[in-house]
Structure 1
Amino acid sequence: MASKQNKALKKRRLTIVQVISNYPDAQPVPSNKGGTEKVVHELTEELVRRGHHVSLFAALGSRSSARLITYPKGLKHSQIPQYVLRHMPSDTHIIHDHTFRSAVGRRKLPCPSVCTVHLPVKRHGKNPVYVSKRARQLMGRGKGFYIYNGINTHEYEFSSEKRGYLLFMGRIIRNKGVLQAIQVAERTGKKLLIAGPIKAPEFFRKEIQKRIQRNPNIRYVGAVGGDQKQKLLKHAECLLFPTLWEEPFGLVMVEAMACGTPVLALKNGSVPEVLSGFPQLICKSVSQMARKAQQKNYPSPAKLRLYVTQRFTNKQMTSNYLRLYREIIRRREQKRGQRQPTRR
């Protein structure tokens, strides 16, 4: 009987609600700037392509093939659960909460939920999903699930032609390692382009801006997206990812490799997992990163792209989430069945 139920569940088209945060500087879905927004977009679109009924709750300005419900202007983060419950389909099978504090998943809900933990937070919802094994180990203490983020590789331009510059791409904050990227450029004498929004203005002004002004080989190009982001990624000699914290995933590493660009990264957070196929690119220190940047002993661009297509695609991510959705729904239905009184 259980086997028949599992087979029936696998064939069933699910009604799924995807929920993303709404906060003052929320990015619309899809976004070339917000990693979480991009992941949610890829997951939503692939679920729709597979025939599932998906509702997406997202910021104003979002676009989607799913049924799109945008948050009204002024809606606070704490008001998201009530808004979702009021507007979601009555036949919803599962809610997927991507909000940064699992705002919906921590509530009492009429259906099961999963909560992807995109950033480190103390309060998790039911069925937490982490974006790497390391994140599950640190934030979930080994409990919950992990599913890697995925991208649509067809949207990333591949190039074997490189133009001799190093690239740092990410938010300009201390923990992202932009200062360490500058140190690599200073030690190697190589050109460095820095791209990303300035999220710590005082840090940028006091510690970054002066070093850029002193070195003509280093240039800050601002926050980037679209064609400009593609060109920077595909033509870079190497992407530097000197993260100083326990980065849960680091989507830009996958994006760079999809463009055929190698990544030199410090051995923190998810780096050993994301770069497990290329251990020679993992660095223990800034000094080692500088040496590797000078040696340029990189895998071929074609090998880097193939690696991403085999491990970090939107299709693989969606298949993994669907398996998890169905397992959680199955458990819920089984539990409800056990509660039903037996008829005499």
Structure 2
Amino acid sequence: MKILIVFDKPIPVAKYGGIQRIVWWLGKELVRQGHKVIFLVGEGSTCPFAEVKIYDPEKPLSVQIPDEVDLVHSYIPVMEELNKPYLVHMESNTKKPEYDINTVFVSRNHAERHHATCYVHNGLDPEDYGRPAFNKKNYLHFLGKAAWRVKNVKGAIEVAQKSGNKLHVIGGSRVNFHMGFRFTVDPNMRFHGMIGGEKKNKVMQESKGLLFPVIWHEPFGIAITESMYFGCPVFATPYGSIPEIVDADSGFLTANKEEMINYLKDPADFDYKRIHDRVMEYFSITPMANSFLKLYEKIMNGETLNASKPYFEKDSEPKFLPFA
């Protein structure tokens, strides 16, 4: 099969970049399984395993699709008629009144909140992370864009402090002006900024768990699965996709701050290898690509992926979910 993957940002990503990594990983696995992939992506992109064409936002998408492709897998909205079967892969929490009927969401919860049924869980590429050691140290870690209030780094810091845990923050700095003003003095809170690759992997490799008290419905959360890849249990709020990813043997979920603090004073023992194995079975690139291949077959046979067009009801969710 010849598949065009469309995204308006450059690949590969230099540091973190969640969606860019999914785009890259999916294309890589499809090629490994014998399919031809063409990337139509942002300026500056390169790729050793697939052909790259540069997406022009000033031109209709329809005129940028090569004749040879069988199907279009788009990470940007399709606003016009295409002469090829296509799907739209929705990764974010956008709140639009209507979506394409062939929209694929990234978790069951993500789909249900948009009155849809079609979803595929994101999968990570083990080759980007190396072999996990399951050698846990004496700190927790937070992973996410700390400048986004919904990621709740402030709550993570408070939980770590009150439960007597050191915390390494990946994706934020000690001084932050984006959420009012936050200056964290405590030396037990270490900030790594926006790091990727081996530096980020090392922090997770040596962590005893991910502290992730988000206050929104997390669409998927690659931070969760890549932490679990290293055997890290997840201590999080039960919002969005998180209960689909984190089972009773791989973490502890609560929206009650005091309950989380008390739990982390003396957490349960976890089987780190089992947590890693859960990611490999359900949340790696192979099951993700296999799920999409089944959807490709459906749309090439003229079927739609949802019974009707997904939509989001305005004001159906609060801006921030409780963590108190």
Return the TM-score normalized by structure 2: 0.86
Which residue number in structure 1 is paired with residue 134 of structure 2? 160
Per-residue deviation, 1:241: 1.0
Farther-moved stretch of structure 1 (35-44 vs 156-165): 156-165
Output the CA distance in 1 between the equivalents of 2:52 and 2:179: 38
Partners of 1:144 and 1:95 lie apart in 2 by 20
Query: What's 1:170 paired with?
Result: 144
Partner SS for 1:281: strand
1:182-241: CA deviation from partner (whole Å, max 9, x where unpaired): 11112022211111157x9533561x32xx12x121122211101110001111111111
* Deviation for aligned residue 1:285: 1.7
Report what 1:11 is aligned to: none
Distance 2:127 2:2 in 1: 27
Distance 1:280 1:53, change over 3 A: closer
Higher relative contact order (CA 8 A, sep 6+): 2
User: Is 1:188 matched up with 2:175?
Assistant: no
Which of the two has higher C-alpha Rg? 1
Structure 1: tracts of 5 or more residues without a match? 1-13, 333-344
CA spacing shift, 1:126–1:67, aligned 2, 3 Å: farther
State how far apart, in whole Å, the 1-side matches of 2:14 and 2:101 are. Answer: 27
- Hey, what does 2:278 align to over in structure 1? 307
Bigger proportion of residues as helix: 1
1:87 equivalent in structure 2: 64
Change over 3 Å in CA distance of 1:239–1:331 after alignment to 2:
same
* Counterpart residue number, 1:283: 254
Counterpart in the other structure of 1:240? 211
Which residue of the other structure, out of 36, 39, 45, is the alignment partner of 1:62? 45
- The CA deviation string for residues 262-285 of structure 1, in whole angstroms up to 9 with x for no partner, is 111111111110113537521232
- The amino acid of 2:12's aligned partner reads V
The alpha carbon displacement at 1:254 in A equals 0.3
**Residue of structure 2 equivalent to 1:341:** none
What amino acid does structure 1 have at the position aligned with 2:196? G
Is the partner of 1:227 in helix, strand or coil? Answer: helix
Post-superposition shift, 1:91? 2.8
- SS of the residue corresponding to residue 114 of structure 1 reads strand
* Alignment check: 8 A CA contact 1:167 1:194 kept: yes
Q: 2:82 aligns with which of 104, 109, 119?
A: 109
User: What residue in structure 2 maps to residue 98 of structure 1?
Assistant: 75
| 3-state SS in 2 of match to 1:203 | coil
Partner of 1:323: 294
Task: Measure how far apart 1:30 and its partner are.
Answer: 4.4
CA contact (8 A) 1:152 1:313 kept: yes
Task: Say which SS state the counterpart of residue 145 (structure 1) adopts.
Answer: coil
Q: Which amino acid aligns with 1:110?
A: N
Partner in structure 2 of residue 231 of structure 1: 202
Residue by residue over 1:52-83, the C-alpha shift from the partner in whole angstroms, topping out at 9 and shown as x without a partner, is 12111222333321111134xxx54xx3x62x
The range that moved more, 58-67 or 39-48, is: 58-67
Contact 2:2 2:71 in 1 (8 A): yes
User: Amino acid of the residue matched to residue 223 of structure 2?
Assistant: V
Deviations 1:96-136 (A, max 9, x none): 1112xx1xx23110012101111122142340101000000
Q: Give the structure-1-normalised TM-score.
A: 0.81
Cα pair distance change 1:284/1:298, threshold 3 Å: farther
Answering whether residue 114 of structure 2 is matched by residue 127 of structure 1, we say no
Q: Displacement, 1:171? A: 0.4
RMSD: 2.1
Q: CA deviation at 1:289?
A: 1.9
Deviations 1:135-186 (A, max 9, x none): 00102x1x24110000112332302212211111100121001011011112
Give distance in 2, aligned partners of 1:156 and 1:292: 29
Is 1:267 the counterpart of 2:238 in the alignment? yes
The percent identity for this pair of structures is 27
Q: Secondary structure at the match of 2:104?
A: strand
Aligned equivalent of 2:4, options 17, 21, 45: 17
Q: Which residue of 1 aligns with 2:309?
A: none
Q: 1:147 aligns with which of 110, 120, 124?
A: 120
**Offset, 1:302:** 0.7
| Alignment deviations for residues 314-342 of structure 1 (CA, whole Å, 9 cap, x no partner) | 0100000000001110126xxxxxxxxxx
**2:233–2:251 Cα contact (<8 Å) kept:** no
Gaps of 5+ in 2: 304-324
